[in-house]
Amino acid sequence: MHACSRLIASTLILSTTLLGLPLSAQAAIVSTADSLTTPAAAPNRERVNAFLSRADVRQALEKQGVNADSAVQRVAAMSDAEVAQIAGRIDQVPAGGDVLSLVFTVFIVLLVTDILGLTKVFPFTRSVR
């Protein structure tokens, strides 16, 4: 019993001593542009912009009352998470089909950002700000 408690005490003393040692850390100044963009976001933005440049998508946006050029500008203003969500929905759309659901998703995202006051796309919305 005495040898077991001595072993436990020695282990605790050693671990407590090692926890007190300072760890090295490195710090550097990060620019705003570096902090706002992530490498994974660029392909998603390109995918959404390529989708919005298709003729059938532009026609569907025009039917919803959204100018396609302003939609591309709004995609540029969206956060990386929002663009990733829309890019994920593009991947789920079957080839040559159900474009309307994706256009509806873009419409809803633009509508919500318009209501929150982050954008001003639709003239019929009022900002909560």
Q: Give the list of residues 6+ apart from residue 47 with CB closer than 8 angstroms, or none.
A: 87, 90
Burial status of residue 70 (CB atoms within 10 A of its CB: 0-12, 13-18, 19 or more): middle
- pLDDT value, residue 98: 61
Question: Quick check: is 66 in a domain?
Answer: yes
Q: How much is the pLDDT for 129?
A: 63
Is 26 within the bounds of a domain?
A: no
Residue 101 token pair:
């659901």
Provide the domain count of the chain. 1
For residue 75, the enclosing domain spans: 39-115
Q: Is residue 54 part of a domain?
A: yes
Output the pLDDT for position 91: 67
Tell me the average confidence (pLDDT) per consecutive run of 10 residues in the chain, 129 residues long. Answer: 86 83 78 69 83 84 82 81 81 62 78 78 70
What one-character DSSP code corresponds to residue 123? T
